[in-house]
Chain A
């Protein structure tokens, strides 16, 4: 690890002022991804601003029924929160499918959103990587790309977004609250992460000097009928090959509303609005789920070692929808 100075911020304002005066500073919350990246000399901040003392640790139900999750709420506390388990089971399940209990006890909500890809070439500083060193090339496109993305890729980068939690948040149309010296703003979750395009080093729309303070989950009554299914090489403690967060509202066997988002296949948490639309006013049958999965995956582009992913992702979507929508026909 390269040398850095350490300061502890006591208020949001202190944190924002500190990061505003040092463009090479970074906030540290749980640190589970940042410290790892610093050990690998991928992140080399000159200063760490410890924000764990900030008052951003509450999970509140707002008067309009939305849930506001403080940026520093630990992944384990969010996963086991009774309101979340009851009203948004897909979010609880996604969180519990990620990392290990120890890491979930450390990792924060905002840190989870800002975590970086686990592409092995991004981590290997001896190899070219456009995300780590813009212009150096992508080692994954013609390398061992079994874990890599099939949606949202570019000729510069095919790294997957690693988060499980973010897949549920994409499905739930979460809203990210941000504070900076210029005041407060919100960003829709789906607009927060960026596909790599020509600038894979730019992963989200957060501006320098901005602090994520909370994530708001809009009330969605039918999300109580939701789930998250993750397929991986090991049963536990492994990143997704494919995953799906789904919610269904069904009346008399007819689908009224649907939410579908995918993990392990996209360069960002992947929402499938067209597939959701295709299910509305249809019967909750395996054939309709299968047709929706085809729509969700119609733009896939596979690489040498991940050609299995479209079929696996399709089965993951169908299986998730059947889990909450019944195994009919």
Chain B
């Protein structure tokens, strides 16, 4: 009955507002909208647009065929983490500036935060989970462990995917080349020297 009483109160409160007061209040509200900037108007128009349809996308992720129903806005990063629950790939800046989200698409390293999942139909994606497992690590994963190439570990999946992509690209000849070609991966803990050592070891053993 408490609910009913609350409803009654609401109705009664509404009843108290006279027609004159109602018009005065809504006019003020309209005026407030009128003085908003044109960009705000653009945003309001966008919000009232009909919701777009979902898309069906099929991609091979770490050797497994996956079919997803996604909103067109979904980035590959969010599709991996939220739809496929592959949370090894990390979201750092979400703007292509830190490299934490680096994965390999058809063998090339990219920033998955700036790539739409909708554009991944038919592609092959490799994430940190697909490179190796704790029992059967990828040589780059082993080298990162051996050389202590991380502290907090948040940037590490991106660093490792990026390093694997770097060696595949085959353009790094010197330490400075490796540093330059790993510049898209930021490490706040500053493990750069050990990351360099890990990559060099895998490069030399290849």
A residues engaging B (CB < 8 A)?
A: 1-6, 8, 28, 31-32, 35-36, 39, 41, 44, 46, 48, 50, 52, 76, 80, 99-103, 105-106, 125, 132-133, 136, 235-237
Contacts of B75 in A (CB 8 A): 35
Contacts of A237 in B (CB 8 A): 183-184
Number of A-B contacts (CB under 8 A): 104
In contact, B49 and A46 (Cβ under 8 angstroms)? yes
In contact, B94 and A39 (Cβ under 8 angstroms)? yes
- B39-93 residues with Cβ-Cβ distance < 8 A to A are 39, 42-43, 46-47, 49, 51-53, 55, 71-73, 75
8 further A-B contacts with Cβ under 8 Å, apart from A4-B72, A100-B185, are A3-B52, A6-B55, A44-B42, A101-B162, A102-B110, A102-B162, A235-B183, A237-B183
A-B contact pairs, 9 of them (CB 8 A): A3-B49, A3-B71, A5-B52, A28-B116, A28-B119, A46-B49, A52-B119, A76-B169, A101-B162
Q: Rank and list the top 9 A-B pairs by shortest CB-CB distance, nearest first.
A: A100-B184, A236-B183, A6-B72, A237-B183, A2-B46, A5-B52, A1-B73, A102-B184, A105-B108
Chain B residue nearest in CB terms to A123 = B95
In contact, B96 and A36 (Cβ under 8 angstroms)? yes
Give the docked Cα–Cα distance between A28 and B117 (Å).
Answer: 13
Closest CB in chain B relative to A232 CB, distance in Å: 11
In contact, B181 and A101 (Cβ under 8 angstroms)? yes
In contact, B183 and A6 (Cβ under 8 angstroms)? no
B residues engaging A (CB < 8 A)?
A: 37-39, 42-43, 46-47, 49, 51-53, 55, 71-73, 75, 94-96, 99, 102, 108-111, 114-116, 118-119, 121, 162, 165-166, 169, 171, 179-185
Please indicate which of the listed interface residues B37, B46, B75 has the most CB atoms of chain A within 10 Å of its own CB: B46
In contact, B184 and A41 (Cβ under 8 angstroms)? no
A133 with B37, Cβ < 8 A, contacts A3-B51, A4-B73, A44-B46 known: yes
Contacts of B183 in A (CB 8 A): 100-101, 235-237
Give the docked Cα–Cα distance between A169 and B192 (Å).
Answer: 34
Closest CB in chain B relative to A133 CB, distance in Å: 5
Give the docked Cα–Cα distance between A321 and B179 (Å).
Answer: 27
Closest CB in chain A relative to B184 CB, distance in Å: 3
Closest CB in chain B relative to A35 CB, distance in Å: 5
In contact, A102 and B95 (Cβ under 8 angstroms)? no
Contacts of B37 in A (CB 8 A): 133, 136
Give the docked Cα–Cα distance between A46 and B52 (Å).
Answer: 9
Closest CB in chain A relative to B71 CB, distance in Å: 8
Closest CB in chain A relative to B108 CB, distance in Å: 5
Decide if the interface of chain B is mainly helix, strand, loop or mixed.
mixed
Contacts of A50 in B (CB 8 A): 118-119
Give the docked Cα–Cα distance between A156 and B100 (Å).
Answer: 37
Chain B residue nearest in CB terms to A29 = B119
Contacts of A102 in B (CB 8 A): 96, 99, 102, 109-111, 162, 165, 184
In contact, A125 and B39 (Cβ under 8 angstroms)? yes
Contacts of A48 in B (CB 8 A): 72, 116
Contacts of A36 in B (CB 8 A): 95-96, 114
Contacts of A46 in B (CB 8 A): 49
Closest CB in chain B relative to A47 CB, distance in Å: 9
Contacts of A41 in B (CB 8 A): 43
In contact, B39 and A133 (Cβ under 8 angstroms)? yes
Chain B residue nearest in CB terms to A77 = B108
Contacts of B38 in A (CB 8 A): 133
Name A5's contact: one of B53, B94, B121 (CB within 8 Å): B53
In contact, A32 and B119 (Cβ under 8 angstroms)? no
Chain B residue nearest in CB terms to A80 = B171
Give the docked Cα–Cα distance between A1 and B52 (Å).
Answer: 13
Contacts of A5 in B (CB 8 A): 52-53, 72
Closest CB in chain A relative to B53 CB, distance in Å: 7
Chain A residue nearest in CB terms to B180 = A236
In contact, B46 and A32 (Cβ under 8 angstroms)? no
Contacts of A105 in B (CB 8 A): 108-110, 165
In contact, A35 and B46 (Cβ under 8 angstroms)? no
Give the docked Cα–Cα distance between A80 and B169 (Å).
Answer: 10
